[in-house]
Structure 1
Amino acid sequence: MGKTKIAVTIDAQAVIKIDRLVEKSVFANRSQAIQQAIYEKIDRIERRALAEECAKLDPVEEKKLADEGLETEQWPEY
């Protein structure tokens, strides 16, 4: 996927911390560090949204749906 150059304003303390990570070779450069941080934040937001939707499910109702039509005495032999 292509990349797009953007300009962002970041406070000095964050830049110092990013630069330290680059110096320690945790990241190749500032761009890589910031890109990774953005991806991780997006991932957390998406997982949280999924978890919130899953929390709305009724476990008893979901079990009924999962078991619907299954009769354990009629399982095929393998």
Structure 2
Amino acid sequence: MGKTKVAVTIDAQAIIKIDRLVERKVFANRSQAIEEALNEKIERIEHRRLAEECAKLDPVEERQLADEGITGEIETWPEY
């Protein structure tokens, strides 16, 4: 996927920290550092949302639904 150039305003202290990481060769440049940090944050948000939705599930009800499919007579199961 292509990249798009954007302009953002970032706290001076954050830039100092990013520049230190670049100097230590943790990242090739500021853009790479910011892009990786942004991607990690997005991933955490998406993972947290999935975890929040899973927490809403009732484990007893989910087990009952899972067991429902295997309690029928094996003869009535379709041939695979």
TM-score, structure 1 normalization: 0.87
Alignment of 1:1-78 (within 5 A): 1-71=1-71
Unaligned ranges ≥5, structure 1: none
Instruction: Write the distance in 2 (CA, Å) between the matches of 1:69 and 1:47.
Output: 29
CA RMSD of aligned residues (A): 1.0
* Offset of residue 70 of structure 1: 1.8
TM-score normalised according to structure 2 size: 0.85
Deviations 1:17-68 (A, max 9, x none): 0000001110000000000000001001101110110010000000011111
Structure 1 residue ranges, 4+ long, deviating more than 3 angstroms after superposition? none
Q: In percent, how many aligned pairs have the same letter?
A: 78
Go from structure 1 to structure 2 and tell me whether the alpha carbon gap of 1:24 and 1:60 turns closer, same or farther (over 3 Å shift).
same
What is the deviation of 1:69? 3.4
Gaps of 5+ in 2: 75-80
CA distance, structure 1, for counterparts of residue 2 and residue 69 of structure 2: 49
